[in-house]
């Protein structure tokens, strides 16, 4: 067995100050400087999800992309959902999944639409020949200094994307999920320690943590596990396309004890762990990765 090098977590990835940058929402990982690391060249699988069939929302970039790459390298077939504007990021992910000899199924569309959420699940089931892992990871985050700046349209779009879509997707998927299947939700340190400028977003992350715990109890007897991942500040398109102020972005992650933001790749193994069969006693749990702050 090859020995693993000792890696210093402080020096492992870029730290602030970061270059000023902004992209129109929803943003592309391919246009960020530095480019986020989703494990493209580093994640090594060992068959932990061999034969599994996963649907990952927001699978084009960020945590969803890191999970998609890791799942494929662990032997799973993967369908990813994303917005049509994110096609360039999505195509990179599909190519990486196919390179592993797995099925990579791109299903673009807007999760704010209930009919689309149902269609998404149907297409994933058909295209993968079943479904046993659902990762509800897509989210909308837009910084607003004051509650007075949050329009009803803003509030509605955040709730639809972050709370309604998982509700619609889980309902559509449930009839297909056999015992041993699992659901993973991406929550946040914002669920426990909300920022003043993320009034609408932060409460959706508290709701995500809560539905994970409620559904875990409801679905335990059916053999379906439900867990959450709670990231701290992670270098993703969400942050450079309206999710953070320029001031916060330049110093992004610098306030954590590790002194830098996390990279999506650093959370990939958590998504794998929560989906793997050997985690069979973990349900209703929220696993964090926040550089030393904001733990669940
Ligand atoms: P990201 O921008 O890479 O991923 C978010 C994805 O959501 C997008 O790629 C997009 O495909 C999808 N999305 C948004 N609105 C959509 C819609 N209406 N229809 C379909 N897809 C839509 O950013 P990320 O940071 O990797 O976000 C992934 C998850 O991580 C989110 O749930 C986010 O709340 C959570 N999170 C992020 C951070 C962070 O610092 N980046 C911290 C805590 C939690
Ligand atoms: Mg994206």
Q: What is the pLDDT of residues 121-172, one digit of tens each?
A: 999 999 999 999 999 999 999 999 999 999 999 999 999 999 999 999 999 9
Q: Domain limits of the chain?
A: 46-289
Task: Tell me if 138 sits within 8 A of 67, measured CB to CB.
Answer: no
Please give the number of the atom of ligand 1 that sits closest to the Cα of 234: 40
CB distance 233 to ligand 1 below 6 Å: yes
How do residues 242-267 score in pLDDT, each as one tens digit?
Answer: 999 999 999 999 999 999 999 999 99
Q: How far is the CA of 89 from the centre of ligand 2 (A)?
A: 7
CB distance 110 to ligand 1 below 6 Å: yes
Please give the number of the atom of ligand 1 that sits closest to the Cα of 264: 26
> Which whole-number Å values give the CA distances from 187 to 137, 257, 262, in the listed order?
8, 21, 15
Please give the number of the atom of ligand 1 that sits closest to the Cα of 205: 34
CB distance 58 to ligand 1 below 6 Å: yes
DSSP three-state, residue 217 = helix
Answer whether residue 45 shows pLDDT above 70: yes
Catalytic residue among 82, 192, 199, 201: 201
pLDDT given for residue 12 in this prediction: 96
Answer whether residue 2 shows pLDDT above 70: yes
DSSP three-state, residue 77 = strand
Q: Is the pTM of this model over 0.85?
A: yes
CB distance 236 to ligand 1 below 6 Å: yes
DSSP three-state, residue 253 = coil
Q: For a ligand 1 pocket test, name from 119, 236, 240, 255 the mutation site with the most ligand atoms within 8 angstroms of its C-beta.
A: 236
Residue nearest to atom 8 of ligand 1 (CA): 58
Q: How far is the CA of 162 from the centre of ligand 1 (A)?
A: 9
Q: How confident is the model at residue 72 (pLDDT cuts 50, 70, 90)?
A: very high
CB distance 114 to ligand 1 below 6 Å: no
Please give the number of the atom of ligand 1 that sits closest to the Cα of 161: 18
Query: What is the spatial distance between Cα 259 and Cα 290, in angstroms, rounded to a whole number?
Result: 11
CA 157, 160, 166, 168 torsion-angle sign? negative
Task: Tell me if 121 sits within 8 A of 55, measured CB to CB.
Answer: yes
DSSP character at residue 191: G
CB distance 140 to ligand 1 below 6 Å: yes
Q: Could you say which ligand is closest to the alpha carbon of residue 107?
A: 1
CB distance 112 to ligand 1 below 6 Å: yes
Instruction: Report domain 46-289's class.
Output: alpha beta
Residue nearest to atom 23 of ligand 1 (CA): 238
pLDDT given for residue 295 in this prediction: 65
């Amino acid at each position: 067995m090859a020995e693993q090098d000792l890696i210093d977590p402080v020096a492992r990835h870029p730290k602030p100050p970061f270059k000023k940058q902004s992209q129109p929402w929803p943003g592309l990982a391919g246009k960020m400087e530095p480019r986020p690391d989703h494990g493209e060249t580093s994640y090594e699988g060992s068959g932990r999800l061999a034969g599994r069939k996963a649907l990952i929302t927001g699978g084009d970039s960020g945590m969803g992309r890191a999970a998609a790459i890791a799942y494929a390298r662990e032997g799973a077939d993967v369908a990813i959902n994303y917005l049509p504007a994110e096609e360039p990021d999505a195509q990179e992910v599909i190519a990486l999944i196919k390179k592993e000899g797995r099925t990579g199924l791109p299903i673009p569309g807007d999760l704010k639409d209930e009919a689309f959420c149902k269609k998404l699940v149907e297409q994933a089931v058909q295209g993968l020949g079943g479904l046993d892992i659902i990762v509800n990871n897509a989210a909308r985050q837009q910084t607003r200094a004051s509650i007075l700046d949050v329009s009803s349209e803003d509030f509605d779009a955040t709730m639809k994307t972050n709370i309604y879509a998982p509700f619609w997707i889980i309902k559509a998927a449930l009839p297909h999920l056999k015992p041993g299947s699992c659901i993973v939700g991406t929550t946040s340190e914002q669920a426990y320690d909300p920022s003043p400028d993320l009034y609408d977003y932060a409460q959706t992350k508290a709701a995500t943590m809560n539905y994970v715990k409620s559904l875990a109890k409801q679905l335990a007897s059916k053999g379906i596990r439900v867990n959450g991942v709670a990231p701290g500040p992670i270098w993703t398109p969400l942050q450079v396309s309206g999710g953070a102020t320029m001031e916060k972005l330049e110093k992004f992650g610098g306030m954590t004890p590790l002194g830098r933001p996390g990279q999506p790749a650093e959370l990939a193994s958590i998504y794998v762990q929560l989906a793997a069969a050997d985690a069979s006693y973990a349900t209703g749990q929220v696993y964090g990765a926040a550089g030393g702050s904001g733990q669940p």
